[in-house]
Every structure is written in C-alpha cells, then in structure tokens.
Amino acid sequence: MLTLFFAPGSSSMAPHIALHELGAPFESRPLSFAKQDHRAPEYLALNPEGKVPTLLIDGRPLTEVVAILFYLASSFPDARLSGGDVEAEAHVLSWMSFVASTLHSAWIARRTSIDVTRAAFGVANDRLGPREWALGGRYSIADIHLFRLYWRFRNWANPGGNEFPCLSRHYDRMMTRRAVQRTLEIEAAIGYELPA
C-alpha cells in the first residue's frame, strides 16, 4: 500500500502526478502548511525534516522527490517512466539532480535575488532546447520533476512568453496530460497555501 503525504502546489506535486501517470493505487494524506501539519510530531516521526513529500510504502517512509520518483518509476516498469536503457536512466538522474539542486536552490534564492532565479531557469530552458521531452522523444519522470518547479516559478513570476520559450512549450505539453490535469484539479480543490 502506498500513501502520499503532500501539500498542494509544493514539491510533492511531482510524485502526485507520477502516481496518476502510473495509475498506481494510493492513499492521499494532504497536509496544511498553514495549520503546521508538517511540524506535528506524528509527521516528524516519518520525515524529521518536516518537509513534503513523504511516501509510505507499506508503512515505511521514503522521502525526497527524486527518490520517490525513482521508486515509483522502477516499481511500474511497464510505463517506462525511468528512461529505458542505462544511458537514458543516467540522463533522467542528471536532469533530476539538476532540478533538485541547481534549480530548486535558485528558486529559494528568489527571496534575495530574482536574477539568480531567472538565470537558473534560463539554463534549464537552454538545456531543454527544442526537445519534446527532457530525454528527447520519450516522456519520463524528469519531465514531471522539471514541470513542477517551472509551474511554481511561472505562477509566481509570470514570465513573458518569449523569456523561456522551451520551458513554456514543455509546460503546454505537460498541461495536456490527463495525469497533470487531474493532479492540478485535486490540489487546487484542496487549496494552495504556498509561501510568497
């Protein structure tokens, strides 16, 4: 049994999308940042950092977006979301490392320097280039991870259409996917409580 602890609009959106993409049965545990659910002792016992997401696998907690995406894609290999061959999988890891470290850090840096944030998304835009998906022709968990952070940045910074054209086209492609639409509907219905 899989159980996802998530907060609408936050990093946990990525595994939430992946669960819908895979059609995996799971239980939802939405947390409220406003009510400090993520600081409750019961949650800290699962995730001592007090962050989302956490995935329970038969009651055992797994934390960190990259690890959860890797676990889900590997557990449902028929969906081929982890890349395919070893080289493609390495490229998925390369993308997800970039998103989790460079891009996420630059997103947090918006509080002191929006220029740092924009520069990092510029690198992501150039790295993606004209490809349909992060790997080229094949959709993978790297696309889900990249999309979630750009979704957050885009809704916050409202960049012009020409500022990040490759990320913008990728965003549009992602928004046509049923799993993405479904996740956004569910999370919006619960309500976003995201920091500025």
- Say whether residue 50 binds ligand GSH (CB under 6 A): yes
CA 149 to chain centre: 6
Give the burial string for 157-193 (b: 16+ CB within 10 Å, else e).
bebeeeebeebbbbbeebeebebbeebbebbeebeee
- Say whether residue 22 binds ligand GSH (CB under 6 A): no
Single out the residue of 100, 124, 135, 144 in contact with ligand GSH (rule: CB under 6 A).
100
- Say whether residue 51 binds ligand GSH (CB under 6 A): yes
Residues in 128-187 that interact with ligand GSH by CB under 6 A: none
Beta carbon nearer to ligand GSH, 62 or 167 = 62
Both tokens of residue 6?
Answer: 């998530």
C-beta separation of 20 from 179 below 8 A: yes
d(CA 100, CA 53): 13
Min dist. Cβ of residue 165 to ligand GSH (A): 26
d(CA 85, CA 80): 10
Is 29 buried (19+), middle (13-18) or exposed (0-12) by CB count in 10 A?
Answer: middle
3-state SS class at 84: coil
C-beta separation of 182 from 142 below 8 A: no
- Say whether residue 65 binds ligand GSH (CB under 6 A): yes
Min dist. Cβ of residue 135 to ligand GSH (A): 20
Single out the residue of 5, 6, 11, 134 in contact with ligand GSH (rule: CB under 6 A).
11
Single out the residue of 2, 4, 8, 10 in contact with ligand GSH (rule: CB under 6 A).
10
Min dist. Cβ of residue 6 to ligand GSH (A): 9
Min dist. Cβ of residue 193 to ligand GSH (A): 10
With contacts defined by CB under 6 A, how many residues of the chain interact with ligand GSH? 10
Binding stretches for ligand GSH (CB under 6 A): 10-11, 38, 50-53, 64-65, 100
